[in-house]
Each structure stands twice: as C-alpha cells, then as structure tokens.
Structure 1
Amino acid sequence: MNVTMKMNAKTLICAAALALPFAASAEQLSYRYVDVAHFPEAKIDSDRFDVDGDGIQLRGSLPVYQNVFALAEFQDLSLDRGIDVTRFLVGAGGHWPLGPNLDIVARGGVVHYEVDSDDDTGLFAGVRLRTLVAPKVEIEGGVEHMAVDAGGMDSDTYLIGEGRYNFNSQFSAGLLITLGGDTRVFGAQGRFNF
C-alpha cells in the first residue's frame, strides 16, 4: 500500500468519524410530522383584557430540501367573556446538528392573529435546541419573536418548551408550554411522524 492510499484511507476514516454526529441526529430527530395539542390552561393578559380559557393547536412540518423544512400552525383559544384568539402561522425552518442527537433549529415566516374583531399580519422568527436526553425522551426549547399587534397584544418574544416521550418511531406524546408578555399556554400534545 503506497503513501497516497494510506492518506486517502485516513481521510475517509476521519470524514466518517466526523459525520457520525450528523447521521445520528438526522436519523433520530424527525422533521416530517403532524401533531395536535390541547391547552387546558390558556391566559392572555394584554392592555385590553385579562382572560383565561382553553384551546387547541394543529401543526405540521415537512422536509423540502436537505436540512430545510416547511411548517404550518393553527392555534385557536376560547377565552372568558366570549373572546376568541386565532393564530395562523406559515413559514420555513432549518436544522443543523451540534452533536449526537442535538440539533439547533431556526424558524421564520408569516403570522396572522385574530383577536375578536381585530387582526394583524406580521413576521415571526425563532431559534430552538432539540435533543434526545434518553433513548425515547426528547426535549425542545428556545425563543420565538412574533412581530404582530392585535387586540391589545403587542409584538413580543416568547419562551417555548416541549417534552415528548417517543413510544416508537411514529408516535409520541408530551407536554408543551409557551410563556410571553401577553400570553401563557400549557398543554398536552400527540405527534405522528410519517
């Protein structure tokens, strides 16, 4: 075996070793899913009102190219005094591995809020860390900024937290929480990876 072949073999082994965290992350953390969440506790404390209630959320994510995915979300909150808050969100994101089973996730796009008869359309952007902390336990957390003003709710930055137990490669269930200046929601989630 000559020196060139030894160098090529070492290069390939090094490249394979460096790629292992990327491969592990891509296999374990799916970005092809739909999920539904129920919020038994939802609270909005804005300039116009301080109300509680409950709600639902539907989400989906679909890979479109390598580490890039499209996303859509619908959230509907039914609050005291007959106040309804609806949010539509459409955008795209990217995920990049930082290590074995650890991704950094960036998301952005357009968001539309309707609070009773008042509505506004703006932009959102955020960043999260997503990781497997045990073979079947996944956590995700970060921040997201919504640049939209409707019904006395001003543009704000929210803390996002999610935890899921993966029963198998397709089904998972867990909890999620969103905390921000005007809004607080806490709920349970079911997810289907396809």
Structure 2
Amino acid sequence: MKMNAKNLICAAALALPLTSMADTLSYRYVDVAHFPEAEIDANGFDEDGDGLQLRGSLPVYQNIFALAEFQDLSLDNGIDATRFMVGAGGHWALGGNLDLIARGGVVQYEVDIGRFDDDDTGLFAGVRLRTIVAPKVEIEGGVEHLAVDVAGIDGDTYLIGEGRYNFTPQFSVGALITLGGDVSVFGAQARLNF
C-alpha cells in the first residue's frame, strides 16, 4: 500500500485528539501560590514585596481547556498590583508524558500607588512544555507575552518555570518563577486536580 503526504497529514490530524487523551497530565485543576519574593522594576521605581495567586483550568473539549488566573502583589511604599487573566488553551502530546501547551486570552492589570490608580486591559499569549521527568515529579516551562501598559509596566515577554511533586494524583506542591520584563515573582504552589 502506497502512502502519500495527504494521507499522512489526515491520519496525523485524526490521531491528535487521541494522543492528547492518552497522556497522564491533568488540565482540570485549581491551585494557589504564595510569593514571598515579588518585584516590580519599572519606570524608575524598584519595589519588593509579596503576593498571592489563584488559578484554575477546566477542559472544555478534547485537548482544549478554559483558564482563569488572579494575582495580587503587595509591595513596599503602599503599591498594590492586581492582574486578572481569562482565556483558553490547548495541549498536544509530543510523547508519552510530554505536552506542548499554547495559551491565550485577555489580561486586565491594575496598579494602585497611594491615591494614584492606573489600569489597562490587553492580551496575553504563550507557549510551554510540560512533562513528567521522574515518578511523581513534573516540570513546566515556557514563555508568555503580556500586551499591557499600566503605571510604567510595559508589555513584555516573560520566562515561566514551574516544578511540582505529585503526592497523589489529586494533590501536588511545588515552586514557580516568572522572570523578565518589569515584574518578577518566585513562590510556592499547592495544586488540587479534580
């Protein structure tokens, strides 16, 4: 039997949803993170502090998921930065325990400095790889671009890194870091898969 390129492309397209369902990485979760180290270095000011992040992901169709994320940073000198993201993403299995993830959506950013208040709404898009590197150990990393301009925080591309230890299929803890641009955070995370 002779296979041409058209038949191979059709077979790969039909198999893509099946391969994504065979993976062991869950996209149905909620997690919370605490950032003991948070920094905004923008527009002539450099402020440190801490913060919290809540986020969730819910599959909506085969390898497509909806996502929401809320981040609140409390920095020195009474500076508060709040970010809310809502969007969708997709994941595609590249191997047994390796997924390619694409995410995108709307981001709303607000910065309060005393009586000064600035906010902006824009878009975000990113690409990540997520894999299991050892029994119960998972890592995730990639880049994400936020297109916002608020209180001197300009749109920029960030490096994202996460690592988790899965105590059970439902519960994991780990660390996460975001670097680049005007905002950097480092913290600990707890995740509940459901």
Shared fold, TM over 0.5 = yes
Partner residue of 1:118? Answer: 118
The aligned runs of 1:41-60 (5 Å cut-off) are 41-60=37-56
Q: CA RMSD in A?
A: 1.6
Partner residue of 1:89? Answer: 85
Partner residue of 2:19? Answer: 22
Gaps of at least 5 residues in structure 2 are 1-11
Partner residue of 2:99? Answer: 103
Gaps of at least 5 residues in structure 1 are 1-14
Distance between the aligned counterparts of 1:56 and 1:180, measured in 2? Answer: 19
Distance between the aligned counterparts of 1:26 and 1:146, measured in 2? Answer: 31
Which amino acid is the alignment partner of residue 124 of structure 1?
A: F
Matched residue SS, 1:81: helix
Matched residue SS, 1:93: strand
Matched residue SS, 2:181: coil
Distance between the aligned counterparts of 1:130 and 1:187, measured in 2? Answer: 19
Q: Please report how far the alpha carbon of residue 28 of structure 1 lies from its aligned counterpart in structure 2 after TM superposition.
A: 1.3
Distance between the aligned counterparts of 1:85 and 1:26, measured in 2? Answer: 39
Distance between the aligned counterparts of 2:152 and 2:48, measured in 1? Answer: 15
Which amino acid is the alignment partner of residue 39 of structure 1?
A: F
Misfit runs of 4+, over 3 Å: none
Q: Please report how far the alpha carbon of residue 22 of structure 1 lies from its aligned counterpart in structure 2 after TM superposition.
A: 2.5
Partner residue of 1:34? Answer: 30
Given the two structures, how large is their TM-score scaled by the length of structure 1? 0.87
Which amino acid is the alignment partner of residue 77 of structure 1?
A: L
Partner residue of 2:63? Answer: 67
Work out which of the two has the higher radius of gyration on C-alpha atoms and give 1 or 2. 1
Paired residue total: 176
Higher normalized helix content (fraction of residues): 1
